[in-house]
A and B are shown apart, each in its own frame.
Chain A
Amino acid sequence: MVFFFLVLALAAAAPASAQRLGAESFTLDNGMQVVVAPNHRVPAVMQMVWYKIGGADDPLGKSGIAHFLEHLMFKGTAKNPMGKFSQAVAAVGGQENAFTSQDYTGYFQRVARGNLKEMMEFEADRMTGLVLSDDNVRPELKVVLEEWNMRVGNSPDARLGEQVAASLYLNHPYGRPVIGWRHEIETLDREDALAFYRRFYTPNNAVVVIAGDVTADEVKALAEKTFAKVPRVADTAPRLRAQEPPPAAPRTVMLADPRVAQPSLQRSYLVPSYATSKKDAEALEVLSHILGSGSTSRLYRALVVDQRVATNTGAYYQGSSLDASRFGVYAIPQPGVTFKTAETALDEVIADIVKSGVTAEELERAKTRMIADAVYAQDNQAALARWYGVALTTGSTVEDVLAWPDRIRAVTADAVRDAARTWLDRRRSVTGYLVKELPEEKRS
């Protein structure tokens, strides 16, 4: 019963809003991008400030600093000391939070439309005005370590995930966990956080997305009075990270933990993202749906229904990332079924798509389901803001988001088969096994 909040910028530069919605984007003189997505569903707005900085940008030896700084952004400024911003959000019954991924860090407030200006003022102030003292940094580091305990330490599954990512990325920082390696988190301090803040928190490295009951003209006027006044305090550089060499060997990792009561296996393939190859990404997105989304998917039909070797299985694709991304498959074997049996069945499903492709019905069904999300998005101002924010901080544009439904519609069966053939190659993959004890230990 721990309710924590995972912002699911799920699968994709994601379902965009339909054309009828639209969004307007403009850039302030200080380089900050402003995106307005009018949606008059309710008289409220979602403000999200996104910085083009995330865990993959943590300096060597300082993994976790982007995420730690995100926590520290709530510690106040000279103008608005600690607690004042949160109290202002609470006073109007608003919601607020923040999140960090490999490529971006975001802060949001959901409030009635009349409170937008105040929220913009607060965000503008903390963009460059953060004040930190050891008195509030040190307890917050303990909080982050508790977060690590909760998300990673207490979860064998998450620890296997870390091992898989670290093995998949031989050179790119995506191999490091966003929350950081624990031994490095423990050493982070105020100076690290401020150095990172001063380098990356500047209007020319930020995008504000405002979705809701406003017009672009209204937001423009408010932005001129708030964000436009924030000085540019650092130059931005192209986001060049060390890239992956061509993968050459399938890898496997096995994580044993006495707490594992249900073994499972997962595999990640190194694949393109929307930012590195839009066409591949669109095909991979459709492929992931046909291969492993829900009970009509190929994997579920084969492993769970027909062969009964797994109790659950699926696939996913993380298309929104700045650099080479991951395509994942997983299976929970039935009791008594070996990993080998489950994995063979899984490989056969992939091999069949590589060989024979997908049917017209499968393709149509997947597209319909995916594109409908764009319509459902019109119901949810928060989801709208998230899609634009994720896209704009991972190398896509507002136009890309708007064109997404049409581009998905244009994906062909051949493209889906080719994507499977090219990218779901074992040599590009790491397979992780979660077990109660290592086989070696049994022998001893």
Chain B
Amino acid sequence: MTAHMPIRSADRLPKIIARALLGASLLVAMAAPAAATKIERVRSPGGIEVWLVQETTVPLIAMDFAFRGGAGQDPADKAGLASFVAGMIDEGAGDLDSKTFHERLESKAIELSFTANRDHFTGSLRTLTENKDAAFEMMRLALNAPRLDAADLERIRSETLGILRRESTNPDNMASLRWWETAFAGHPYGRPVRGTLDSVSTITAQDMRAYMKGVFARDTLKVGIVGNIDGATAGALVDKVFGALPAKATLRKVAPADPQGLGRVIAIDFDVQQSVVMMGGVGIPRKDPDFMAAFLVNHILGGGAFSSRLYREVREVRGLAYSIYSTLVPLDSAALFMTATATRGESAKQTLDVVAKEIRRLAESGPTEEELAKAKSYQKGSFALRFDTSTKIAAQLVQIQIDDLGIDYIDKRNDLVEAVTLADVQRVAKRLLDGGMLVTMVGRPQPAPAKGG
């Protein structure tokens, strides 16, 4: 999490309105080869494995890494801890106080960022090649010697609380929080990744040190580097950054879980013009042999481009929504299938019906031969675009390692797409879409009574 993002709102950004963006399957690692993407497996002198793509056309270096153990490691009463750590470790480290630390980054245009999601703590670095030594040193400091000074901690806490207050009445956020807390009641996934006003208020520097001690370790570390840099240099740099971390992580076990409450519709009354609808059910794990077929089924239903069934039926034909998408969410301890949209109050019921009907229709009859062919064609063609910037490549290098797909995955991936048969997608459509969904809806599904006078 970048701690100082200016708040985002339309009035502060250039007045540009885009047509649409359909659900990219953000959590799914669909690797893809640019013809030129050649991955080397480098083992550093200290024994850390790095996946490296040497790229000479751009004078910058990008590194991504991940430790296992994100918000799922937050203690029950300390939700938001991992996110808080992500917001704090670039707030001063070693001898550098927060101000000096940030000035040093800025004066060399070095970008560091940290995020905690449910399963991982991730970091990114981007630097001009000429500043690489300084950049990796800053990353080393942030991971090994964050100061967590009291004043900075209170400052980041108050900023986080401000964001949480602001989001507490955002209907998208409300629908999402209620979905997760219902589907995963009593499970770490049920807790908000960024915490609550109460939990964030209680988090201490000691909590943070305990989190880092358990999570920042070499055995779960995955690293990807892209840039004009050779294997020996990359190895030396990662040893510098990660070499002094503990060999083994100490993680709480996050039990495998299925989402609860399938079939329920939870309506949250809130006075907004547009109702936000979020639906989710059981998905397909990343390691499941049916995953690729499920990925194609999702593409056909609501996954991509301006051609999915949901896009057509909900948006194009009926004009019920601006945004409608579905996605697979394969987490470490749960596999989910989710869809979300937003529509004016009086058409909420109709929209839900249309979505449910399309899901049922696809579950029962499956995709057509033509739809499958188009989905494959899209997926095979789009792969290169997932590798079109250094930052994106570095992220893919880490995701492929997290998903344990093998260093040759990029070369195999399109064959895996091609190998999916019509029988596969028909069977998997039923498996994926027939299980029922938990629905959360925020808004005024009925038209508000006309106001007098």
Contacts and interface: CB of A to CB of B under 8 A. Distances in A.
A368 B110 CA distance: 10
B323 interface: yes
Nearest to B11: A161
A146 B305 contact: no
B325 A3 contact: yes
Interface stretch (A193-201, A304-312, A400-408, A418-426): A304-312
A42 interface: yes
Interface in B388-402: 388-391
Contacts of A42: 34, 36, 384, 387-388
A368 B107 CA distance: 6
Given A259-B169, A296-B103, A112 B381 contact: yes
B321 interface: yes
Secondary structure type dominating chain B contacts:
mixed
Interface string A276-305: 000000000000000010111000110011
Interface string A76-111: 000000010011011111111111111000000011
B168 to A, nearest CB: 5
A427 interface: no
Interface residues of B, number: 93
Interface stretch (B16-24, B73-81, B230-238, B241-249): B16-24
B11 A160 contact: yes
Interface string B1-38: 00110110111111111111111101000000011100
A304 to B, nearest CB: 6
B11 A316 contact: no
A196 to B, nearest CB: 16
B169 A98 contact: no
Contacts of A63: none
B273 A1 contact: no
A371 to B, nearest CB: 8
Interface in A245-271: 258-262, 264, 266
Interface stretch (A66-74, A117-125, A126-134, A217-225): A66-74
B18 A365 contact: no
Given A266-B12, A372-B128, A312 B381 contact: no
A328 interface: yes
Given A8-B13, A70-B19, A141 B384 contact: no
A151 interface: yes
A332 B7 CA distance: 9
A264 B151 CA distance: 23
Contacts of B107: 364-365, 368-369
A165 interface: yes
Contacts of A266: 11-12
A296 B4 CA distance: 10
A60 B10 CA distance: 23
B16 A381 contact: no
Interface string A147-163: 10111111101101110
A7 interface: yes
A23 interface: no
Interface string B145-180: 000000100010011011001101101100110000
Interface residues of A, number: 109
A140 interface: yes
Interface string B309-335: 000000111111111010000000000
Contacts of A304: 155, 159
A375 B11 contact: no
Contacts of A382: 388
Contact of A4 (B3, B317, B323, B383): B323
B377 interface: yes
A140 B319 contact: yes
Contacts of B413: none
A100 to B, nearest CB: 5
B17 A301 contact: no
B426 interface: no
B102 A101 contact: no
A100 B17 contact: yes
Given A86-B305, A259-B169, A312-B159, A99 B18 contact: yes
Nearest to A177: B15
A295 B171 CA distance: 29
A153 B14 contact: no
B99 A301 contact: yes
B271 interface: yes
Contact of A369 (B34, B106, B151): B106
Given A142-B320, A143-B319, A301-B99, A86 B14 contact: no
Interface in B243-266: none
A162 B377 contact: no
A94 B379 CA distance: 9
A330 B12 contact: yes
Among A91, A152, A266, the most chain B Cβ lie within 10 Å of the Cβ of: A91
Given A93-B381, A378-B59, A5 B342 contact: no
A373 B126 CA distance: 11
Contact of A164 (B4, B11, B383): B11
A239 interface: no
A10 B14 contact: yes
A40 B56 CA distance: 11
B162 A154 contact: no
A34 interface: no
Nearest to A364: B107
B108 interface: yes
Given A4-B21, A152-B10, 6 more contacts: A8-B16, A41-B388, A42-B34, A90-B374, A97-B20, A295-B102
10 contacts: A3-B26, A4-B322, A8-B13, A55-B15, A146-B274, A146-B343, A154-B276, A178-B15, A300-B4, A312-B7
Interface of B: 3-4, 6-7, 9-24, 26, 34-36, 57-60, 98-99, 102-103, 106-109, 126, 128, 151, 155, 158-159, 161-162, 165-166, 168-169, 171-172, 175-176, 270-274, 276, 278, 304-307, 315-323, 325, 338, 340, 342-344, 374, 377-385, 387-391
Interface of A: 1-11, 40-44, 55, 67, 70-71, 74, 83, 86-87, 89-102, 110-112, 138-147, 149-155, 157-158, 160-162, 164-165, 177-179, 258-262, 264, 266, 292, 294-296, 300-301, 304-305, 308, 311-312, 314, 316, 318, 320, 328, 330, 332, 334-335, 364-365, 368-369, 372-373, 375-376, 378-382, 432
